[in-house]
């Protein structure tokens, strides 16, 4: 069985990825909490990406798949953002990712796969997204360069979702009216769910799909490429 390491996989998209992979792989979830993992056959590693060093944790010597899930949604007009907002978004989305990758890169097996997360807003340009778009754009650039440097040993890809119905997005989807408004913005007339994103992650981790690397893949209900309102 292959070893899959998820950073921050105890809820939302990460938990769904763990659920999909746990029956056929050794899944290690490094996260702050384990409550929502109780029904899954996974190995939990107590870990706070903002405070802890993964080097100090008991991770597999050989890793075949890696997913970095932590992120933020900080949507404000630019004039209401201060430098600390940008620094915090960059820290949790990008610098924490780089820190973990720096530590585990030597553990990645031949033919292994890494999956990171961006946002549709990087490629589309959306109001009130300056801080999060800057942080996620850093991930996209990092992933492409990393994929080039480590090919053909390992593959690195990025999923760029639109709005997904998770606890992270709860403020944006807090009532039926908001959900309807957000759904109408998408050509497919709904917001995403955790399976939409997890399905792509597990696809990219699968060694049968080993001719895909350095890609930014939109799973966004058509938001990034279609204008269905014209």
Tally of CA atoms within 13 A in the half-sphere of 205 that contains its CB: 28
Report the relative pairing of strands 63-68 and 2-7 from DSSP bridges. parallel
Give the 3-state secondary structure of 74-113: CCCCHHHCCHHHHHHHHHHHHHHHHHHHHHHHHHEEEEEE
Is 128 labeled as catalytic in the residue annotation? yes
Cα gap 191→173, rounded to integer Å:
9
Sheet of 154-161, strand order: 43-46, 25-31, 2-7, 63-68, 108-117, 154-161, 216-219
Q: Which of 128, 142, 150, 203 is catalytic?
A: 128
What φ, ψ does residue 172 adopt, rounded to 5°? -85, -15
Alpha-carbon span 89 to 217, nearest angstrom: 21
CB 159 within 8 A of CB 197: yes
Q: Which residues are catalytic?
A: 128
């Amino acid at each position: 069985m292959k070893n899959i390491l998820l950073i921050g996989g105890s809820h939302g998209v990460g938990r769904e990825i763990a659920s999909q992979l746990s029956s056929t792989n050794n899944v290690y979830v490094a996260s702050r909490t384990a409550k929502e993992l109780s029904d899954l056959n996974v190995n939990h590693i107590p870990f706070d990406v903002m405070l802890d060093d993964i080097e100090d944790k008991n991770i597999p010597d050989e890793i075949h798949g890696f997913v970095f899930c932590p992120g933020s949604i900080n949507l404000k007009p630019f004039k209401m953002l201060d430098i600390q907002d940008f620094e915090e978004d960059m820290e949790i989305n990008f610098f924490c990712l780089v820190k973990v990758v720096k530590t585990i890169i030597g553990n990645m097996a031949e033919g292994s796969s890494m999956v990171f997360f961006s946002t549709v807003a990087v490629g589309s340009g959306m109001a009130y997204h300056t801080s999060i778009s800057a942080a996620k754009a850093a991930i996209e650039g990092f992933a492409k360069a990393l994929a080039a440097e480590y090919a053909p040993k390992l593959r690195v890809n990025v999923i760029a979702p639109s709005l997904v119905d998770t606890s992270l997005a709860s403020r944006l989807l807090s009532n039926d009216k908001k959900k309807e408004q957000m759904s109408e913005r998408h050509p497919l007339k709904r917001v995403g769910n955790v399976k939409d994103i997890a399905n792509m992650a597990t696809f990219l981790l699968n060694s049968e799909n080993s001719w895909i690397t350095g890609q930014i893949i939109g799973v966004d209900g058509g938001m990034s490429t279609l204008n269905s309102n014209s």
